[in-house]
Amino acid sequence: MSNKVIQAIYADDDVLLAAVKKVRAAHHHIEEIYTPFPVHGLDKAMGLAPTRIAIASFIYGCIGLCVAVAMMNYIMIEDWPQNIGGKPSFSFLDNMPAFVPIMFELTVFFAAHLMVITFYLRSKLWPFKEAENPDVRTTDDHFLMEVSASGNIEALSAFLQETGAVEVKVSEKH
């Protein structure tokens, strides 16, 4: 297995999208694509599987709701019952309408914060991590596609040039 990649730089997102389709049709492996902004349809063109973050969000929201119910039942019913505004704390069900805002807020709080943590862990974005961006122009106005360098590198470079790349270079995989 080669540790070299061919980096093709594109100046337009539409050209990049067409190039990704051509590279995949030619059965070359795309390692990564760096873009300055999200490109609509790029995930489908690359053949990436749909994300499961919505399922994780639902689970995190359910955890938040359970924590809210357990916390309010313990604090307001069992540990320190108080008569607030003429509402005695005899049971959780009697007071549930007053607890709905707290349940909603903790559901959203848990879902949002745990989704962010999951995204960072899944993306391997640790604190003080060095940037992996191979070309600084991809943060401004260019798009970069890294393709595994296998077989004839010159032919693959010429193929990528034909797809509309403004620059093609071979480099070591980082």
The answer to pTM > 0.85 is no
Give yes or no for residue 91 having a pLDDT over 80.
no
Give yes or no for residue 102 having a pLDDT over 70.
yes
Contact of 147 with 27, CB cutoff 8 Å: no
Q: How confident is the model at residue 2 (pLDDT cuts 50, 70, 90)?
A: low
Q: How confident is the model at residue 4 (pLDDT cuts 50, 70, 90)?
A: confident
- The string of pLDDT tens digits covering residues 157-174 is 999 999 999 999 988 876
- Give the pLDDT score at 174: 65
Mean pLDDT of 131-148: 89
DSSP string covering 73-119: IIIIIIIS---BTTB--S-HHHHHHHHHHHHHHHHHHHHHHHHHHHH
Handedness of CA 45, 47, 53, 54 (dihedral sign): positive
Q: How confident is the model at residue 62 (pLDDT cuts 50, 70, 90)?
A: very high
- Give the pLDDT score at 139: 87
- Give the pLDDT score at 88: 67
